[in-house]
Amino acid sequence: MSRTVLVFGAGKSTAYLLKYILEKSAEEKLKLVICDIDFSQVDPKMTSHENCSLVKLDIFNDAERGKAIAEASIVVSMLPPKLHIKIAEDCLKHTKHLVTASYINQDIQKLDADVKKAGLVFMNEIGLDPGIDHMSAMQIIDRIRDTGGKMLLFESFTGGLVAPDSDTNLWNYKFTWNPRNVVVAGQGGAAKFIQEGTYKYIPYQKLFRRTEFLEVKGYGTFEGYANRDSLKYREAYGLQDALTLYRGTMRRVGFSKAWHMFVMLGMTDDSYIIENSKGMSYREFVNLFLPYSPTDSVELKLRHYLKIDQDDIRWGKLLELNLFDASKKIPLENATPAQMLQYILEDSWTLLEHEKDMIVMYHKFGYEIGGEKKQIDANMVVLGENRIYTAMAKTVGLPVAMAALQILNQKIKTPGIQIPIKSEVYDPILVELKSHGIDFNEFEVPYLGYNPDSIAI
């Protein structure tokens, strides 16, 4: 008898997830059911597979959603995070396991006692970041502790970028994930972390001017800027006594300094609406944020405002985005500045059909053992195949698919609302990911962390 894997959402990050389930369908007796209202991004090879069914479903239709979940063996939600709660409540009602790649929110966490009582596994944060970052970090942290080491430092960075042979613009960047998340990244409060035993806070308006450089052999130099809350996983990782705890986002060197221009101008603001946004030209949009001048051009006003010269590489980056084009129009009605900026950026930063993306992840582990301080650096690089089978889809979708099968086969049994930080979860999944080319290189390096004689700055 076949077992039904029900997947809600058929967006950009699902290609490898769906492919994996269908490749395992004969051996594991699986039936894949995909629910969405738009299947345009699903590979036709999948939709024609004998073990795949498409169900056009409005997620807000309670009866249809509940019926689909009641008939499933396990449920995977790849929907926007705010919609997971509807799926989760139905899974609890119909006694079905649930897997998502999204951060646990308060609504989901409130279900924990009932989920445990029902003996269900609700696995969250098992994509890329969060997901592979949790599993790869905890595997090394647990190994250090098992050999008697004491953790002093943990830093983790992840970046969704373009592959070197598709890196064709001055920003060294194109969208490989939700563009909105890129545009509004870092907003909603200061970034907070611990560095050398001292709490640190970076306000949003300074976030992209405080970066750390990282070197990945064979791929060159990257920069990292701080995530909003690096302390979120302090307890989960058991790092309450760590002197440095920092999580960040990776970009190519120079991106953050250039992005800072948009922050200073106010173009990333998502808190108010531009009433006459529809039909506004790119040039008019830029001029919204500049002082009035009866004589100076938009270009000259912007250079004066940002204090950048004509031969500054940042000026070339702005020109490359066609920001001063009066013929290009924004079709969005009652849009925020952030939404308008996103539209302009997508015009230039969308992957072409033949182009490939790249995922880079970098961890630093500082620890003390036998009175000696040591450090391990670990990095992972994954390249995409094309615009559909991206590195982002691979690193997000495969862990989700593998976890779903592990739960279905009762290899992962611990009930409750959880993230993948236990060895029963991360050990088998990391082994299987390695067979798909998702693997970390580890290096022992001199410990560069906390010095008790130094003055924290």
What was the pLDDT predicted at 45? Answer: 83
344-369 burial: b if 16+ Cβ within 10 Å, else e: bbeeebebeeebbbbbbbbbbbbbbe
The DSSP code for 352 is P
Q: How far is 289 from 323, CA to CA, in rounded Å?
A: 13
- What pLDDT, on the 0 to 100 scale, is given for residue 402? 97
Q: What string of pLDDT tens digits covers the 457 residues of the chain? A: 789 999 999 888 899 999 999 999 999 999 999 999 888 878 888 888 899 999 998 889 999 999 999 999 999 999 988 899 999 999 999 999 999 999 999 999 999 999 999 999 999 999 999 999 999 999 999 999 999 999 999 999 999 999 999 999 999 999 987 899 999 999 988 999 999 999 999 999 999 999 999 999 999 999 999 998 999 899 999 999 999 999 999 999 999 999 999 999 999 999 999 999 999 999 999 999 999 999 999 999 999 999 999 899 999 999 999 999 999 999 999 999 999 999 999 999 999 988 999 999 999 999 999 999 999 999 999 999 988 899 999 999 999 999 999 999 999 999 999 999 999 999 999 999 999 999 999 999 888 764 433 333 3
Of 3.40.50.300, 3.40.50.620, 3.40.50.720, 3.40.980.10, the CATH number of 3-124 is 3.40.50.720
Tokens of residue 282, six digits: 């790119």
Q: How far apart are CA 156 and CA 148, in angstroms?
A: 22
Number of H helices, E strands in the chain: 15, 18
Residues 6+ apart with CB under 8 A from 310: 303
The pLDDT score that the predictor gives to residue 358 is 97
Distance CA 330, CA 281 (A): 6
pLDDT score, position 450 = 46
Give the whole-angstrom CA distance, residue 282 versus residue 338. 13
Question: Which secondary structure element, helix H or strand E, spans residue 262, and what is its range?
Answer: helix 255-265
* Domain boundaries along the sequence of the chain: 3-124, 273-335
**Residue 295: partners with Cβ closer than 8 Å, 6 or more residues away:** none
Helix (H, G, I), strand (E, B) or coil at 445: strand
pTM for the model stands at 0.91
**The two structure tokens encoding residue 198:** 């001292």
Chain length of the chain = 457
- Residue among 253, 171, 172 at smallest CA distance from 216: 253
Angle at 373 between CA 367 and CA 375, to 5 degrees: 55
